[in-house]
């Protein structure tokens, strides 16, 4: 059994839905049982959120989940219709019908359990279940959504519940690369990557796989194959162990584009100053990702001063850091507290 997940780009138009359906039909004809998970078409979710905010700047979380969950429930029957037109029996299912049970946290729900009875029944009848990803229901049957990347999470969780041989994540890229190929032209595609390595890359900005999906894959031992929906090439396998010669200290580099760095010069070395800086940021909902704090060997150079004298340069020493960051060129030029947003 294989679980196949198709992202929004892969099902963004009628032509792409037909291409995806041909791939599913080919897999079924090869003798495999297939469970399909789909995302909303293109940028449907973004458009729905914008529409909601046009009628209410702060839409209630419950109603917003009721609205945006429709994106996937539109795609699933379209794919099922296309498969039926190709002679492949298929049935579309919502998160509720697929047995996805979640917590009651709207827009960021966690999967508590999956009861795949309906899916298993369809498979026994020789039909392809096409499941709307990204959504589930609480024990009170309230519709919830899993947050960004939720369809990946749905697919891997279903693969774990069904004890599938693997979970294939079809997307608009060829696999996992050593860096973003749009930025680094020499980036190489990896044939294999470990769960923990993929988790680390995803946590620091790589958007090919959602971290929660990788966590479930690691916990239940589900091999995840990330590959392109636009051709038949082999992608990248996310597994527990990689081939011996593929083990390297550095497997890839991820970057975040929406990051701002602020340098605060002349921060006094006394209790309460850090709170005075960071409490207003917290109240404004601004997340501070990295904090780097530096100071000279001896504060006696600036008796009762809060800023460095003109022309001063910090003596060579390793900056003390509150995170894994190792400082930056700006930090070495003056006593500062440097943090990234």
DSSP H/E element including 237? strand 236-239
For residue 290, the model assigns a pLDDT of 77
Q: Are strands 128-132 and 34-38 parallel, antiparallel or unpaired?
A: parallel
Are 45 and 170 found together in one domain?
A: yes
Q: What is the predicted pLDDT for the residue at 245?
A: 53
Task: Enter the tokens of residue 321.
Answer: 């850091």
Shared domain for 230 and 332, answered yes or no, is no
Q: Does a structural domain hold residue 170?
A: yes
pLDDT given for residue 325 in this prediction = 37
Residues 278 and 226 in one domain: no
Bridge partners, 114 (sequence order): 100
State the Cα–Cα distance between residues 25 and 12, nearest whole angstrom. Answer: 19
Half-sphere exposure of 186 (CA within 13 A, CB side): 0
Strand partners, 130: 36, 92
Residue ranges in the chain modelled with pLDDT below 50: 299-341
Report if residue 266 sits inside a domain: yes
Q: Based on the domain organization, do 277 and 209 belong to the same domain?
A: no
Quick one: 276 and 301 in the same domain?
yes
How crowded is residue 269: how many other Cβ atoms within 10 Å of its Cβ? 10
> Would 192 be classed as within a structural domain?
yes
Question: What is the extent of the structural domain holding 330?
Answer: 261-340
Q: How many domains does the chain have?
A: 2
Is 128 part of any domain?
yes
Flag whether 186 is in a domain: yes
Whether residues 123 and 215 fall in one domain: yes
Q: Are residues 231 and 300 in the same domain?
A: no
10 Å CB burial of residue 91 (0-12, 13-18, 19+) is buried
What's this model's pTM, rounded to 2 decimal places?
Answer: 0.74
| Residue 54 lies inside a defined structural domain of this protein | yes
Q: What CATH number does residue 21 fall under?
A: 3.40.1160.10
Q: Give me the pLDDT at residue 152, please.
A: 93
Same domain, 221 and 321: no
- Single residue among 220, 246, 272 that ends a domain in this structure: 246
User: Within this chain, do residues 197 and 291 fall inside the same structural domain, yes or no?
Assistant: no
Shared domain check, 168 and 78: yes
Cα 283 to Cα 280: distance, rounded to the nearest angstrom: 5
Whether 253 is covered by a domain: the verdict is no
pLDDT at residue 336 in the model: 44
Residue 251 forms part of a structural domain: no
Instruction: Report the pLDDT value the prediction gives residue 297, as an integer from 0 to 100.
Output: 53
pLDDT computed for residue 156 by the predictor: 96
Statement to judge: residues 242 and 305 lie in one domain? no
Tell me: do 230 and 278 sit in the same domain: no
Query: How big is the CA angle at 162 (ends 241 and 128), to the nearest 5 degrees?
Result: 115
Where among 246, 281, 303 does a domain terminate? 246
Mark which of 217, 246, 275 sits at the end of a domain.
246
């Amino acid at each position: 059994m294989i679980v196949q997940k198709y992202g929004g780009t892969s099902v963004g138009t009628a032509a792409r839905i037909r291409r995806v359906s041909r791939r599913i039909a080919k897999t079924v004809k090869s003798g495999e049982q297939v469970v399909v998970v789909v995302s909303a078409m293109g940028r449907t979710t973004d458009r729905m959120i914008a529409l909601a905010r046009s009628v209410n700047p702060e839409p209630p979380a419950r109603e917003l989940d009721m609205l945006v969950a429709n994106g996937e429930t539109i795609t699933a029957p379209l794919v099922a219709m296309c498969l039926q037109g190709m002679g492949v029996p298929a049935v579309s299912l919502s998160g509720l019908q697929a047995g996805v049970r979640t917590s009651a946290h709207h827009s960021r729900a966690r999967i508590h359990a999956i009861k795949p009875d309906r899916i298993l029944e369809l498979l026994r009848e020789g039909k392809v279940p096409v499941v709307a990803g990204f959504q589930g229901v609480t024990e009170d049957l309230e519709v919830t959504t899993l947050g960004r990347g939720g369809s990946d999470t749905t697919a891997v969780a279903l693969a774990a519940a069904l004890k599938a041989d693997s979970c294939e994540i079809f997307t608009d890229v060829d696999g996992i690369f050593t860096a973003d190929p749009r930025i680094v032209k020499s980036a190489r595609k990896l044939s294999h990557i470990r769960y923990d390595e993929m988790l680390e890359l995803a946590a620091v900005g790589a958007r090919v796989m959602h971290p929660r999906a990788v966590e479930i894959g690691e916990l239940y031992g589900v091999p995840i194959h990330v590959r392109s929906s636009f051709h038949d090439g082999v992608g990248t396998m996310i597994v527990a162990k990689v081939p011996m010669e593929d083990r390297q200290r550095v497997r890839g580099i991820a970057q975040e584009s929406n990051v701002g760095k602020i340098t605060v010069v002349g921060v006094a070395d006394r209790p309460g100053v850090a709170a005075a800086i960071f409490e207003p940021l917290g109240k404004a909902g601004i997340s501070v990702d990295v904090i780097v704090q530096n100071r000279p060997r001896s504060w006696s150079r600036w008796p009762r001063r809060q800023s460095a004298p003109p022309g001063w340069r910090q003596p060579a020493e390793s900056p003390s850091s509150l995170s894994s960051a190792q400082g930056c060129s700006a930090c070495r030029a003056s006593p500062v507290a440097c943090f990234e947003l």
